[in-house]
Amino acid sequence: MSTVSAARARKPLRRFVLHKLLPPIGWRMYRALGRSWHYDEHDVSILRELIAAKRPVVGAFYHSRTFALLHYFSLPQQGRWILMCSQSRDGEAMARIEEGLGFRVARGSSGKGGARALVEMIKAQREDRGLNSCLAIDGSRGPRGVAQLGTITLAQKTGSLLLPVAASALPSWRWNASWDRTIIPRPGATVSVRIGEPIEVPAKLDDIALEAMRQRLENTMFTLHSELDARTGYRDTEPLRLAAV
């Protein structure tokens, strides 16, 4: 059998493993890990009050803290959420894991299909006012900690409040090879979650006001995480090279 033929023969097996076999194992393992964590919550009443009032929000978070936040936001008391997940082959497995955790998932990223996924999220929130959305401020490729416009656009188009969300954890592992230096809380870790003050986003912003809003979000997220990491004792050998103003 030629190399090309062998590669083609392996594709169905790869799809089966990624789409059918790994996701149910993955979300069950992640759920078990998440249940071992202890949560230290700060200002979460802000989120709970918004959910109770059925006031839609767009949760803004760092891509590096996704692993620490997924379990927390899958809990029933945190409401219902739609997320964006990459269209890559590996992203297919991740999307199915997130669906197993109870999230609705739109497929796309800043690299591929992001605009289409953003439209899907906007449409979903407009049709279901009890549905909230969340998006990493630094996208799927970075630069790490630098706010992009996706979360702001999502809030504008859905009439939602922009809600900064921070997470920190100890003890934890850090995936240094990833662009975002992903934090993975260890079994039994304390995961600290802090909700920032909601940000009203006008439906129309000129270029200057839009950039000011982007900088405000970026600085708010940096400040929230700096304070929360100091509280937990989490340190990174390559901290974000930003200065809050």
Size of the chain in residues: 245
pLDDT range class, residue 14, cuts 50, 70, 90: low
| Average pLDDT for 149-159 | 96
Percent of the chain with pLDDT over 90: 73
Q: Which residues pair with 190 in a beta bridge?
A: 38, 170
Considering only 10-14, 29-33, 120-124, which range has the smallest mean pLDDT?
10-14
CA distances from 78 to 28, 57, 130 (A): 19, 12, 12
Average pLDDT for the chain: 88
pLDDT (0 to 100) of residue 7: 43
Which tens digits make up the pLDDT trace of 87-140?
A: 666 667 788 889 999 999 998 765 555 788 899 999 999 999 899 999 999 998
Q: What is the residue whose two structure tokens read 């919550």?
A: 41
What does the pLDDT look like over 218-242, one tens digit per residue? 999 999 999 999 999 999 999 886 4
pLDDT for the residue 17:
56
* pTM of structure: 0.87
pLDDT digits (tens, 9 = 90+) for 185-200: 999 999 999 999 999 9
- pLDDT recorded at residue 244: 39
For residues 139-156, average pLDDT: 94
Checking if the pLDDT of 47 tops 50, the result is yes
Q: Which CATH class is domain 3-232?
A: alpha beta
Q: What interhelical angle do 207-232 and 150-158 show, nearest 10?
A: 110
